[in-house]
Amino acid sequence: MGKYTDFTQADTTVENKAATVESVSSKKQKRSNAITAVNEDPAVRKAIKSKKLKLRRRRKFLEWGEFTLYLLPSLAGVVIFFFWPLVKLIKTSFQRSSTNTDFVGFTNYSRTISNEAFVKAAKNTLTFAAISVPLAVILALLLALLLNSGLPGKSVFRSILLNPMMVPVASIVLIWQVFFSYNGVLNGWFADWFGADPVDWMKSSKAQVVIMLLFLWKNLGYNMVLFLAALNNIPTEVIESAKMDGANALTRFFRIKMYYLSPTVFFVAIMSLISSFKIFREVYLLTGDYPYDTLYMLQHFMNNAFTHLDYSKLSSGAIIMCVAMIIIVGVLFFAESKFDADVEE
Amino acid sequence: MLSRKRGKMRKSRIAAACISAVMVLSSLGLGGCSSKTDEDVSDDTTTWYSAQKKDASEYYSDLDISYDSKLTYLVGVCGDYIIAWTYMFHNDYDPDAPIQDTEDYFMDLYSVQGDYIKSIHVNDYIDLEDYSVSAEPKVNDEGVDIILDGYDVNTWRSSRFKMTLDLESLELGKPEDLDKNSDPYEYRYVNASHQDVWKVNGYSIHLYYNNGTNRNGRSSYILLIIDPNGEEHVIDLANEFSDISIIDLTSYIAMPDGKILIFANFGELKLVLDPESMTVTEAGDEMDWLDDIFFYGITNIEGEGAFVVDNYDSSQVLAKLNFEERKIETVIDLSNVLINPFDINSMLLVDIHDGEYVMAGTLYNQEFATVTIKELEEDPYEGKTELKAVSLTGYDYGIYESILRFNESNEDYYIKIDHSYDSDHNDINVTTLDEYNDQSNVRQAEMSDQLMVDLMAGAGPDILFNTFSLSALNRGEYLVDLSDRISDDSRYFTNIVDASRTGEALYQMPLTINIKGIFTSDEFADDGQDGFTFEQYVRYVDEACNGDDPMSDYTTQKAYFSELFNSCSDLFINTSGCDFSSEGFREFASYIKDHVNNTDNSLPGDDGVEIVYQGIGGRNAAASLTSGEYKTLDDFSVFINSYAQNFRDVRFLGAPSPDGRGPSFRVETSVAVSSSSSEIEGCCQFVDMLMSDEMITVLAYDTENLESVAHMVSAPRGVMTGDSSIPVNSSVLDEYMQTLIRSYNSDVEYYQNIFTADESRMMGLPTEPVSDDIMDVYREFVSSCDHARFEDPYVAVILSEELQAYYEDQKTIDTVIDTLTNRVNTYLSERG
């Protein structure tokens, strides 16, 4: 910013302008020689202003060019690994197949939407997200509030809650299998303590509950840390002044803390939503290509379509899922912007 | 200030929008909106080869010798000649006559260019009245000798003679008494017999086999190596490899570095002989690339290298072994040679000259011939439209033959084979039978997925062989309805054709089939009984089979279940979904759980052919009827031998199933035409040709000459069952059966003239002629099948995963059914 002089904030006197211009390049110096004279004529002032504008634009353009050059490698990566596949995907979804580029309109989409398996998968995925994401947000917030309340051994609890993030997926799957398989630890405990019959956790209506537990166990720690950081950023004087004004804890929480936490709540919700879709990885490792009904997710549908080389079904399913995600996230953005409208910076 | 900030923010958003637009547009540019590429233009860069076959058939057809069987094999190459040896065994067997009067020997001579020169009737030169000898050719350092082994008929003293072929005059010398002193090599070592001579790079390597009688049973070889200077060197492999037995030194490769790679122990051991240092060592990992090679098919051509005829990369090829790059290089794809690959895939390459490859050996029909392969300068199919054919299960003799004949006879089209969809199961490396079956199913499923996607895309083949198991293809959008190609229903087994239809349409034409069921005696089956329910079967096993389950070959619950499920899956799965809640399925699962044990999950051995000994006086046949046998309906030749005398007592019933249905059939050979093909008419012309009696005969019996197959009917040493198939053309089956019955009865008449009934029974020979009624019985067995066997590998995996818990008493059947229905319905609805 030191290289160029910001003319808009420079002194308005012509001498200062001339002196400032002199300090730039020789070309500009020549030009500056042409406008050393003070002139009150509006036409002349207009001409001067337009020349300044041109110089400013040129400078801006050079600035933009420089940082675009720096960004180019990243841009290239984003284009090649994100936008280009997306465009190809959209293109494939309107073709007969990956090797036959005949345009078939929305046939693939109607075929996918009318597929019972797709409908089941979509329902399961949305149900899972609708239950587990709010739980992930609320429980993480509660944990953060608890740890922020001056509990002893806070750092120990924080480490314990963060540990699941470090465990590899394969190990998590193994742990869950040991616990929740038909001949697993949990059934063993129930049989020993209560004499209960074994429950096939992964192949019954309780399967989604097990997966939700896995999801929460894995993600609560990270969400909690985000909330902890946000809580620490709330100005204490606002809380104290509210206390002095007679606000109780609940009022302080909902009227003050939640306002400050709203961006974090929104961020955590988005991240949890994304994580809820990624749970397919664990489910696939636990149950294979064709799991029990309630565990059959959209990714199963698409993964199997990929295995069976049905790329048109795969791509149309992926686009439908993408559109659904955009709508959901768009709604969240809208809600956040409304909620945040009167939050002071 | 705020408005300035908002203005800046607006500008930032505009800038971000511009950048995003640029990225999207550049993606579009990269992704392209190209139209369909011309990938369906036929590749006309195929190199075609002519094949000129030469044999001694004219000589043998003019011979005035009646024989029962003839066998010819390649002896080797001596100088400029290819030597073959022919045995003939006479019909008029006289046990008191000298051997040379009961067997005829011929030495067939061909030039290395493949031209037939002459055949020498060796017996004419065996001027040994007091001796009974058999003859055997033997290659030596100079050429080829004929060794006569036998005995003095007066003194019973064993004797040995030698006749030498003069390579100049091509005449045989008189027999010379071969005592121990006359041959410097024959009796060189006391405990080792002279087995063979290899001539490699100027060295002569004599192989002596020691069967290990003085080495605690560890057999080995002694190598006597004569170098180009005439000096002898001896390497006793027993000293070099004292801990192991060495057998089967039959193949070697002369490597470019002068060393010799020797295959031993049926390919399990590779030895490297260094003639410079006269040492033998075990080959290291650098030879691992030769592990899967068919080493018996290796020949060494001086100045050219080592070659092999083998299956490579899903195709039968003549390949060269490249030791520098350690890879097998295809020289000629045998499917591009204008001859049936099965006729030359057991031949050896004997010479290369002027761009011609000369191969010698036995054809598919066991006749000896030389075949000279030469690259064609012009495309033999120029002007014809190419049709692409694929097969999921590989190609047999019959399919190749039908393609060759179509290519020769059709003026407008020719068929080219595509190996893209061949699924190779040879490299599956597992430890149990169940794992092998699972992986094999997955491989086939992957190939079938690829094929289905390509068909849907219009990029697939024109003609499909052996895709009958892919029922998902049976739609008008994939395949052409071939119902119109059946002009006369009476020629076919309509039960087979009807069971192959999807609705009214026939998308995949069955050509040959096999049928599996339970052979049993009539006394253990009720009138009108087609098969067994599970309850009936349990009773049958207990009462008729004394507890010995005819299906005990299926040694695991999973395999047993799959075998039965494949023939009755239509009871539980249809186009609208699946339902396992029926009483039938519960009974099915309960039967497996209560009556089948996991006895042996090991992989089967390497036996590809089942030798069925007919036993003494049909004893085995009677025994099998009592105990019951679950097997494929035998080829009619075996059926006659087994049940000629009691065929009226034989019943062929279906395996146990919920509805007691009859035997099921599996389509061995089928053909279908892609509806995306641009030459449907040409494809249908091929289908018409396939359905002719001549081609169905070739597809079912690998020959048009049924008489040549018929002579094996009553072979006393046993009959090879191998893989038999039944033609869908009932007229072809009738002709085959009639030919075999004629031959069988002719044999019976012959044996009756020579042996008594007791003697015949002792030797396992037939004693009574068979009536034509046996044809009706056999035909009835074929007509009793009304459903095809079908397996979906994904459903099979789900079933085996879920039922295991039930078999192990961990879950009730209701719980398992619920999960099964759930998962299988998900799979079926996903497929659409």
Condensed to tens digits (0 to 9), the pLDDT of residues B377-398 reads 999 999 999 999 998 888 889 9
Question: Is the model more confident about B34 or about A265?
Answer: A265
Mean pLDDT along residues A268-279: 91
Distance CA B305, CA B318 (A): 13
Residue with tokens 């059914």: B817
- Give the least confident one: A62-76, B525-539, B604-618: B604-618
- For position B134, what pLDDT does the model report? 86
Chain A to chain B Cβ contacts (< 8 Å): 98
B287-321 tens-digit pLDDT: 999 988 888 889 999 889 999 998 765 678 899 99
The C-alpha angle with vertex B415 and arms to B318 and B343, in degrees rounded to 5, equals 35
Q: Is the pLDDT of residue A342 over 70?
A: no
Identify the helix (H) or strand (E) that includes residue A252.
Answer: helix A249-252
Is residue B70 within 8 Å of residue B86, measured between CB atoms? Answer: yes
CA atoms of B190 and B668, how far apart (whole Å): 54
The span from the CA of B612 to the CA of B607, in Å, is 13
Q: Flag whether pLDDT at B258 surpasses 80.
A: yes
With beta carbons under 8 A apart, name residues in chain B contacting A290: 794, 798, 823-824, 826-827, 830
Question: B27 vs A87: CB contact, 8 Å cut-off?
Answer: yes
CA B152 from chain centre, in angstroms, equals: 44
- Reported as half-sphere exposure (CB side, CA atoms, 13 A), residue B196 has a value of 12
How large a percentage of chain B has pLDDT more than 70?
85
Weakest mean pLDDT among A37-46, B247-256, B257-266, B637-646:
A37-46
| Pairing label, strands B385-391, B463-465 | parallel
Q: Report CB contact under 8 Å: A310, B33.
A: no
Cross-chain Cβ contact B819/A200 below 8 Å: yes
Q: Find which of B18, B448, B830 to mutate to test the A interface (most A CBs within 10 Å of its CB).
A: B830
pLDDT score of B218: 82
B44 touches A: beta carbon within 8 Å:
no
Nearest CA to A203 out of A103, A132, A146, A286 is that of A286
Which pLDDT does position B772 carry in this prediction? Answer: 93
Q: Which residues contact A305 (CB under 8 A, 6 or more apart)?
A: A311, A313, A314, A317, B830
* Cα B253 from Cα B266, distance rounded (Å): 15
B202/B204 Cα distance (integer angstroms): 7
Interface contact flag, B26 A96, Cβ < 8 Å: no
> What does the pLDDT look like over A119-168, one tens digit per residue?
999 999 999 999 999 999 999 999 999 988 877 888 888 888 888 888 89
Query: In whole angstroms, what is the distance from residue A169 CA to residue A176 CA?
Result: 11
d(CA B250, CA B253): 11
Q: Could you tell me the maximum CA-CA distance found in chain A, to the nearest angstrom? A: 102
Q: What is the 3-state secondary structure (H, E, C) of B623-648?
A: HHHHHCEEEECCCHHHHHHHHCCCHH
Task: Using CA coordinates, name the residue in chain B closest to A78.
Answer: B23
Cα radius of gyration (chain A)? 30
Quote the percentage of chain B above a pLDDT of 90: 38
B contact residues 753-812, partner A, Cβ 8 Å cutoff:
794, 798, 801, 805, 810-811
pLDDT band for position A17 (50/70/90)? low
Interface test with B, best of A290, A301, A304, A311 (most B CBs within 10 A): A290
Whether B538 shows a pLDDT value over 90: the answer reads: yes
Partners of B208 in beta bridges? B194, B222
Question: Which of B795, B820, B826, B827 best tests the A interface by mutation, with the highest count of A CBs <10 A?
Answer: B826
Give the pLDDT score at B229.
92
Q: Residue B52's pLDDT is what?
A: 95
Closest alpha carbon to B448 in B429, B462, B469: B469
Neighbours of B130 (CB within 10 A): 11
**Contacting residues for B200 by C-beta, under 8 A, at least 6 apart:** B252, B254, B260, B275, B300
Q: Do B829 and A301 touch (CB under 8 A)?
A: no
Q: Which structure tokens are listed for A224?
A: 């909690």
Among residues B572, B550, B548, the alpha carbon closest in space to that of B560 is found at B550
Read off the pLDDT of residues B341-378 as tens digits, 9 standing for 90 and up.
999 988 999 999 999 999 999 998 888 999 999 999 99
CA distance A202 to A288: 11
Among A60, A74, A93, A99, the strongest candidate for a mutation testing the B interface, having the largest count of B CBs within 10 A, is A99
Tens digit of each residue's pLDDT (9 = 90 or more) over A231-245: 989 988 988 998 899
Which residues lie closer than 8 Å to A272 by C-beta, 6 or more apart? A132, A133, A136, A137, A219, A223
- The DSSP symbol for B504 reads T
Minimum Cα–Cα distance from B29: chain A residue = A84
Name residue, tokens 């759980």.
B593
CB atoms within 10 A of CB B188: 16
Q: Which residues of B touch A81 (CB under 8 A)?
A: none
What pLDDT score does B358 carry?
95
Q: Minimal Cα distance from A293: which residue of B?
A: B822
Point out the least confidently predicted range of A135-144, A181-190, A196-205, B608-617: B608-617
Mean pLDDT over residues B535-555, rounded?
88
pLDDT of B664 strictly over 70: yes
Q: Name the residue among B647, B78, B25 with its Cα closest to residue A75.
A: B25
What pLDDT is stored for residue A187 in this prediction?
92
- The amino acid sitting at B536 is Q
Q: What is the ipTM of this complex?
A: 0.73
Between the two ends of chain A, the Cα-to-Cα distance in Å is 26
- pLDDT at residue number A2: 39
Find the closest chain B residue to A61 by CA distance: B15
How many CB atoms are closer than 10 A to CB B88? 21
H runs (alpha helix) in B236-328: 237-240
Q: Find tokens 């057999």 and name the residue.
A: B219
Question: What is the rounded CA–CA span in Å between residue B273 and residue B253?
Answer: 10
b/e sequence B430-468, b meaning 16+ C-beta within 10 Å: eeebbebbbeebebbbbbbbbbbbbbbbbbbbbbbbbbb
pLDDT exceeds 80 at position B767? yes
Quick one: average pLDDT of B553-575? 85
Which H or E run includes A202? none
For residue B495, what are the CA distances in angstroms to A53, A108, B186, B501, B784?
91, 39, 64, 10, 8
- For B617, the enclosing helix (H) or strand (E) is none
| 8 A C-beta contact, residue B749 and residue B693 | no
**Confidence (pLDDT) at A51:** 92
User: Which neighbouring-strand residues pair with B319?
Assistant: B308, B330
Cα–Cα separations (whole angstroms), residue B85 to B72, B73, B82, B172: 5, 6, 10, 14
Task: Give whole-number Cα distances, B787 to B479, B516, B518, B535, B733, in Å.
Answer: 21, 11, 16, 22, 20
Would you state the pLDDT for residue B800?
A: 84
Name which of B502, B496, B456, B466 is nearest B482 in CA terms: B502
pLDDT of residue B33: 43
Give the span between the Cα atoms of B733 and B724, in whole angstroms. 12
Residues of A with CB under 8 A from a CB of B: 64, 75, 78-80, 83-84, 86-88, 91, 96-102, 111, 115-118, 120, 182-183, 198, 200, 203, 288-293, 296, 301, 304-305, 307-311, 313
Map out the domains of chain A as residue ranges.
7-79, 108-340
What does pLDDT average to over chain A?
84
pLDDT-based confidence at B768, cuts 50/70/90? confident
| pLDDT score recorded for residue A153 | 84
Cβ atoms of B431 and B780 within 8 Å: the answer is no
Task: State CA B178 to chain mean position distance.
Answer: 43
Q: Is 50 exceeded by the pLDDT of residue B252?
A: yes
Element (H, E) at A257: none
Q: How far is B438 from B138, CA to CA, in rounded Å?
A: 49
CB contact under 8 A, B31 and A116: no
pLDDT of residue B186: 72
- Chosen from A81, A82, A83 to mutate, greatest number of chain B CBs within 10 A: A83
Angle at A126 between CA A120 and CA A131, to 5 degrees: 125
Cβ distance A278 to A241 under 8 Å? Answer: no
Residue with tokens 């202003």: A49
Name which of B78-92, B175-189, B642-656 the model is least confident about: B175-189
What is the average pLDDT across B566-593? 89
Select from B1, B22, B27, B799 the residue whose CB has the most chain A CBs within 10 Å, as the one to mutate to test that interface.
B27
For residue B111, give the nearest of B353, B329, B381 by alpha carbon.
Answer: B353
Contact between B457 and A96 using a beta-carbon 8 Å cutoff = yes
Q: Which chain A residues are Cβ-neighbours of B811 within 8 angstroms? A: 182, 200
For the residues B758-776, what does the mean pLDDT come to? 88
**Cβ <8 Å between B829 and A116:** yes
Give dist(CA A87, CA B32) in Å, integer. Answer: 9
Q: Which residues pair with B670 in a beta bridge?
A: B510
Q: What angle do CA B305, B308, B313 make, to 5 degrees?
A: 120
Interface residue B449 vs chain A (CB under 8 A): yes
| pLDDT of residue B94 exceeding 60 | yes
| CATH annotation of A108-340 | 1.10.3720.10
> How close A98 comes to chain B (CA, Å)?
8
Across the interface, do B798 and A98 touch by the CB < 8 Å criterion? no
Q: Chain A: nearest CA to B596, how far in angstroms?
A: 24
pLDDT band at B44 (very low <50, low <70, confident <90, very high): low
**pLDDT value for B798:** 87
Mean residue pLDDT of chain B comes to: 83
| A182:B805 CB<8 A | yes
Nearest to B368 by CA among B633, B823, B715, B56: B56
Partner residues linked to B197 by β-bridges: B206
Q: Which residue of B has its CA nearest to A297?
A: B826
Distance between CA B302 and CA B275 in Å, rounded? 17
Number of Cβ within 10 Å of residue A43's Cβ equals: 8
Min Cα separation B28/chain A (Å): 6
Q: What band does B711 get if pLDDT is binned at 50, 70 and 90?
A: low
Tell me the pLDDT tens digit for each residue of B171-204. 888 888 876 556 667 777 777 888 888 888 889 8
SS (H, E, C) B775-824: HHHHHHHHHCCCCECCCCHHHHHHHHHHHHHHHCCCCCHHHHHHHHHHHH
CB contact, 8 Å: B831 with chain A?
yes
pLDDT at B608 over 50: no
End-to-end Cα spacing for chain B: 61
B459 interaction partners in chain A (CB closer than 8 Å)? 99-100
| Residue B496 pLDDT greater than 90, yes or no | yes
Answer yes or no: is pLDDT of B58 > 70. yes
What pTM value is reported for the model? 0.76
Q: What is the pLDDT of residue A23?
A: 53
Is the distance from CB of B349 to CB of B356 less than 8 angstroms?
Answer: no
Strands (E), B168-202: 171-172, 176-177, 193-200
Structure-block tokens of residue A248:
């109780």
Q: A299-323: per-residue pLDDT in tens?
A: 999 999 888 778 888 999 999 999 9
| Cross-chain CB nearest to A84 (options B30, B453, B822) | B30
Answer whether B832 sits within 8 Å of A115, measured CB to CB.
yes
For A250, residues 6+ apart whose C-beta sits below 8 A from its C-beta are none
Instruction: State the amino acid at position B596 in one-letter form.
Output: V
User: Quick one: pLDDT at residue B481?
Assistant: 95
Q: Is the pLDDT of residue B576 over 80?
A: no
| Mean local confidence (pLDDT), B148-175 | 87
Q: Are B498 and B505 in contact (CB under 8 A)?
A: no
